[in-house]
Each structure stands twice: as C-alpha cells, then as structure tokens.
Chains A and B, each alone.
Chain A
C-alpha cells in the first residue's frame, strides 16, 4: 500500500448499509474513517475530529449535504477541509449545484471506487 497511513476521512452517510460498506472499503484502502449519519453530526465531527477530507452524502436528515457544504465553505476553520459530494442524483444540474455549494469534487452513486480513491488522493495532495 502506497497510501498515507493515518489519513483521516469523515464519511457522512445516513443509509446504514452504504455507510458500512464504504467505511470498510476505505479502511481496507488504508484510511482512518470516522462517520456521521446526519448533517449536524457532520459539522460537529468536522470541528472536533478535524478530518483531512470529507465524503459528504447529499440526502441527509436534519441538515442536507448542500447546507453542510455551504456552512463549511464560509467557516474560517472548516473551509480548508476538502469535501467530495456523494449523491445518487445523477443530473448535470446536481453536479453544478455541488460545486456551487462549495464542494471540491463530486461522485455519483453507484460509486466507482477506484475513481473515488483517485479523487481523494488528488485532493489530499493539493
């Protein structure tokens, strides 16, 4: 494994099955993964655990992914953390909305995992 050991990712996903699956695969890929199941938890975790990168589902209870991304992008502490939006919405307008809301990248479900890893590495290095 050539990946940086100990890089910490925050995975935000409300669907238990999908969260568990992605968490396991990311751990296998060598990342330390912490998770959140709704938008508010996501912001709290970003502040407390200070992850290196956030994988953010958009359809979240309490506070949706767009709101989380917007809030993080204007927060002086959080705005430096790169965010990748994960969504089952596959329209072009959704992609644009992700970038407009302050996300740094965008991945459509079903997730193309190797491609996602490339995106994560690119953002972590920059």
Chain B
C-alpha cells in the first residue's frame, strides 16, 4: 500500500486515495454493466428460442394441412375428372408460399450452430413444396406424373424439422445455462466488489487519518518541546514530504531564528551583567585605592598630633619626613581622582584637545626624570634612546602626550623588578614613534586583548598585587586615538612588555571620538 510510504505529501496521498476510490467505483459500475448486458442477452436468446419453436410448430401444422389437402385432391383426381378451378389452385399456391416464407423466417433465426440442420430441412422442404406446386400446376393435365401420395418426402421433411427443433431446444438450454452462469458470476462480482470497496475505503481512510495524525503529532511534539525551552529541538524533516515537510522546515527555520534571537538576548544580558560586574569591581578598586593613601594621611597626621602632644624635645627631622609622607600620599590621592575624572570626561565626550607647538623629546626626558623615584622603588634601571632634542617638533596636545608617557612609564615600573626599562622616541616621516619597553612579568595574548579596556587589569588579582585601578592604559589608548594615532603592544608572559605609541606630528584638527 502506497500510503505506508511516509515520503508522500498529504496532497499526493489525497489524490491517490481519490484515484483508488474512483477505480473501485469504476470496477463496480463495469461489473454491473456486464451483468445487465448478460441479462438482456439472455432475454433475446429466450425470445429467439420461443419464436423458433413457434415457427417450427406452425410449419409443422402448415405442412400437415397442405399434405392432407394434397392427398384429398389426389384421391379426387383419381376418382373424378373434375378439374381444379383457378381460384382454388391460387389459394393452394398461396398457402405453399406462406409455408416458404415461414421457412425463410426460420432460416433468419437459425445461427451458425444450427445452419447445417436448417440447410438440410430447407433442401428437403423445398423439394416437398416443389412436388406440391408441380402437383397443383399439372393437376388439370391428363398425363401428369402422380407421385404425391408417397409419404417418403413428407416424412423426410418432418424428420428434418424434428431434428432442427431438437437442436434448437438443446442449444437454447445450453445457452441459457451459460448466460445464467454469467449472471450469477456478475452478481457475485458485484457483491464482492461492493464489499471490497467499502473495506478498502475504510482501510484507506484509517491509513490516511493515521499518517496525517502521526505527522501532525510530530509537529505538535516539536512545538511543545521548543515551547517548553528545549531550544535545540528540531522536527525530523525527512519523515514527511510536501506540505507537512514544508511546515516542519518552516518551523525549524523559525526555531533556529528564535533560538538565535534568544541566544543574542542572553548574551546581551550576560554582557550587561559582565559590564555591571566590571563597574562594581572598578568601584571596589577605586575605594581600595582611595583608602590606601588616606590610611597613610590620617595615620601620620594622628600620630604627629599625638607625638607633638608629648612633653619633651620634638625630632624636627622626623616630623619633616612624616609631613613629606603625608604630602606624597595626598598627591597620590589627587592623581587617582584626576584619572577617574579624565576617564569620566573621555566617556562623556567632554575631554578637550589643546593643540600647540612643542618639542616632544625634552618632554619625555622631563617625565622620566620626574618619575625616577618610582624607577628606583623596585630597583629598576632606565635606558634612554632618543632623537636629538630639537630634531622633532610637534603640533599636538603636549599635556596628553605627557600623561601618555607618565602612565606607560609608571606602568612599566610597577610590573618590573630589578630590571631594565627602555624609553625611545624617534620620527618616521610625519609620525612620532615612542616606545616604553620593560623586562617585567609580561602578559598572555588573552590579557593583551583586555588590557586597554576600561576597568580592566590583566588579572582580577593584579590590582591586589600591583595596585592601580586599571584606568591608566585605557586613558592612554583613548588619548592616542584623540590625537589621531594609535598604541600597539607586544608582550609574552615572563618576557616583559613593549608599548609603542604612534602619533602624527601634526594632530588632526577634529579629533576622532575616543572609543
């Protein structure tokens, strides 16, 4: 049964179903027509048989009557000389003609199977009638031959007639039994066909319902599974064909798009959560960084207050040193606050660029000098490789370049111990190239990818080990972009880092938006 083939489309199944039903219906109609034809055939056969029997009977009686008349006239002729008048003779001849006509009609009714019998009858009867006609036409002649009394011819004709009758009867019985068989057969076929049609129709309906139902069930299962959160669930498209396969495919397409959209929403949410977490971490770090210098400022101030309250000599050098510590811590605090403000200005787009003519190399030297205490804190050594003082001149923002150098340099000092920090600056066509290289702890590729992000340090624990809020490099990157340049980083874990800044000697008038 073709309906078991699941790859048929619903439409094809319905068409097949209709064709099957129509075919069965056509077979039923044909069987019925065949039965009707057999019935009418049988009717014709019975009628022919009845006609033939009637004709044979008539012929028999006609022949009998004619013979009686001939015998009477033959006796009369022998005993009297009275001639036969014309009217009587014409009547007799007409009777014989009527007999001939009946014989002809009987011939018309005779089929192939009775042809031989009929021909024999016809020959015999023609001879008999011929004799009788001759008898009538020679009746008034004197010396006419007289052989009509002999019963041989008549009996022969009667016998042939009898044989034809029997043959006809036999054939009629035979034929009617065949036809009856056919009628019984067609009746049986009609009944069987009818019952079969009902059974097959029901079977087809059940199969159609089941196959359509199972297809729909698969779709429903898919929709339910997807709807209950199983976003990776897909309907098996190959179990169906045509419209249901299209529907399954459309559903799967929709599922894919929905799953993607949901993924995007989830990842956007995860991004937002991550950004939030980063801001919280940033706040915690800022709080930590503010508290460390504050601890020194408040602690030293309280201690000095206590000590100055003690009776006795004041150690002036000690007090001066302590006050210096308070000042350094205060400056550190100020620097931190400035960094946070800078970043806030950059983020809100309010950072101004002040372009002026200046010499970048002395500026770099100045920064390195100013930060020499930071350099010696972890026992690092400085190597300078700079172009001549007046060789390079720039039209750019000197303050921002100063901060760039400061941040990179202090960063290098922070992450290097007992090492060498090299600072170089040179011109390449219309660009200033300035690099700060250290041989400190370095960074992995993954850390390098994040290190310029706001609020990020290479590691979450980096802040606790090395201090800093993770703002310095973000500010440097933003300043480089504002001045029309860029910053690149080469590093490997344990092999130090090399930051290279590339700035145009003449900054563009309208600064690009910092990211």
Are A and B bound to each other?
A: yes
**Within 8 Å CB of B307, what residues of A?**
28
In whole angstroms, what is the CA distance A25 to B300 when docked? 9
Which partner residue on chain A sits nearest B463 by CB separation?
A59
- Does the CB pair A17–B288 fall under 8 Å? no
- Does the CB pair A110–B306 fall under 8 Å? no
Which partner residue on chain A sits nearest B377 by CB separation?
A16
By size class, the interface of chain A is 20 to 34
B311-347 interface mask toward A, CB cutoff 8 Å, 1 = contact, 0 = none?
0000000000000010011000000000000000000
- Does the CB pair A17–B329 fall under 8 Å? yes
Given contacts A89-B284, A89-B288, A91-B284, contact A18 B299 (CB under 8 A): yes
- Does the CB pair A110–B295 fall under 8 Å? yes
Task: Among B291, B306, B465, point to the contact of A88 (Cβ < 8 A).
Answer: B291
- B464 contacts A by Cβ under 8 Å: yes
Most chain B CB neighbours (cut-off 10 Å) among A24, A61, A89, A110: A110
Task: Among B284, B292, B464, B465, point to the contact of A109 (Cβ < 8 A).
Answer: B292
B284-311 interface mask toward A, CB cutoff 8 Å, 1 = contact, 0 = none?
1001110110111111101100110000
- A124 contacts B by Cβ under 8 Å: no
Most chain B CB neighbours (cut-off 10 Å) among A25, A61, A88: A88
Interface residue SS majority, chain B: helix
Task: Among B287, B299, B328, B465, point to the contact of A22 (Cβ < 8 A).
Answer: B299
- A117 contacts B by Cβ under 8 Å: no
**Within 8 Å CB of A25, what residues of B?**
299, 302-303, 306
**Within 8 Å CB of B465, what residues of A?**
59, 61
- Does the CB pair B464–A21 fall under 8 Å? no
**Within 8 Å CB of A18, what residues of B?**
292, 295-296, 299
**Within 8 Å CB of A49, what residues of B?**
none
CB distance from B462 to the nearest CB of A (A): 11
Task: Among A89, A91, A110, point to the contact of B294 (Cβ < 8 A).
Answer: A110
What is B's interface to A at a CB cutoff of 8 Å? 284, 287-289, 291-292, 294-300, 302-303, 306-307, 325, 328-329, 461, 464-465
Task: Given contact pairs A18-B296, A28-B303, A91-B287, enumerate 12 new A-B contacts (beta carbons under 8 Å).
Answer: A17-B325, A18-B292, A21-B300, A21-B325, A25-B299, A25-B302, A59-B465, A61-B465, A88-B291, A89-B287, A111-B299, A113-B299
Q: List 24 A-B contacts (CB under 8 A).
A: A17-B296, A18-B292, A21-B300, A21-B303, A21-B325, A25-B299, A25-B302, A25-B306, A28-B303, A28-B307, A59-B464, A88-B291, A89-B287, A89-B288, A90-B287, A90-B291, A91-B284, A91-B287, A108-B291, A109-B291, A110-B291, A110-B294, A110-B295, A110-B299
What is A's interface to B at a CB cutoff of 8 Å? 15, 17-18, 21-22, 24-25, 28, 58-59, 61, 64, 88-91, 108-111, 113
